[in-house]
Amino acid sequence: MIHILVSACLIGQNCKWDGKNNRDQKLLDFMERTKGIAEFHPVCPEEMGGLPTPRPAAEIRKEDEIVINREDRNVTAEFLLGADMALRTAKKYGCEIAILKERSPSCGKNGIYDGTFTHTLVPGMGKTAALLSGYGIRVVGESEIAELEKEMLDFSDARE
Ligand code: SF4
């Protein structure tokens, strides 16, 4: 069994900053197709770090890596705690892969917003994605699920 950490908002949990979700049908279909070879463990690092839902949107300031929310409050500590809690969950279940929401200041992988709240993307990772990556967990964005599925099914066929 392959254990996979997953951003809870991608599977439809209303944990996004605005109280909504980022339900991704491609991910849900992938979860259905990989039943029996993969087990999924949902996490929302921002909630795990103690932030309420809904909450003001936050971004990582490019110049100093501080996480600042729209009300100009420094929420770096909550983001780092959430990242740590997500890592603990990954370790608890032996997750080698994490499918995380792209562009999020927690979960984003291939680019995040620059802290100016102007929808400006810059290279970088969210706090949780970076921590998990640093511990050797493969972080996959929701746009990369097809590639991951192909690899998993090839791997599964090779073992039969
Ligand atoms: Fe989704 Fe991650 Fe943001 Fe939680 S912290 S709402 S799981 S992107």
- Quote the longest CA-to-CA distance of the chain: 55
pLDDT at 15: 98
Q: Whose CA is nearest to atom 1 of ligand 1?
A: 9
Q: How far is the CA of 63 from the centre of ligand 1 (A)?
A: 23
Is 76 close to ligand 1, i.e. is its CB under 6 Å away? no
pLDDT at 146: 94
User: CA torsion, points 13, 21, 12, 149, in degrees to nearest 10?
Assistant: -120
Name the 3-class secondary structure at 112. strand
pTM over 0.85: yes
Is 107 close to ligand 1, i.e. is its CB under 6 Å away? yes
* Burial class (CB within 10 angstroms; exposed 0-12, middle 13-18, buried 19+) of 61: middle
Pairing type for strands 121-122 and 112-113 reads: antiparallel
* pLDDT tens digit at each of 160 positions of the chain: 999 999 999 999 999 999 999 999 999 999 999 999 999 999 999 999 999 999 999 999 999 999 999 999 999 999 999 999 999 999 999 999 999 999 999 999 989 999 999 999 999 999 999 999 999 999 999 999 999 998 887 776 666 6
Is 109 close to ligand 1, i.e. is its CB under 6 Å away? no
| Residues written for the chain | 160
Using the atom order of ligand 1, give the atom closest to the CA of residue 45.
Answer: 5
Q: Which helix (H) or strand (E) holds 69?
A: strand 67-69
Kindly report, residue by residue over 112-125, the tens digit of the pLDDT: 999 999 999 999 99
pLDDT at 158: 64
Which position has the token pair 């998993």? 152
Is 5 close to ligand 1, i.e. is its CB under 6 Å away? no
Measured CA to CA in angstroms, residue 76 lies from 49, 69, 150 at distances of 10, 9, 36
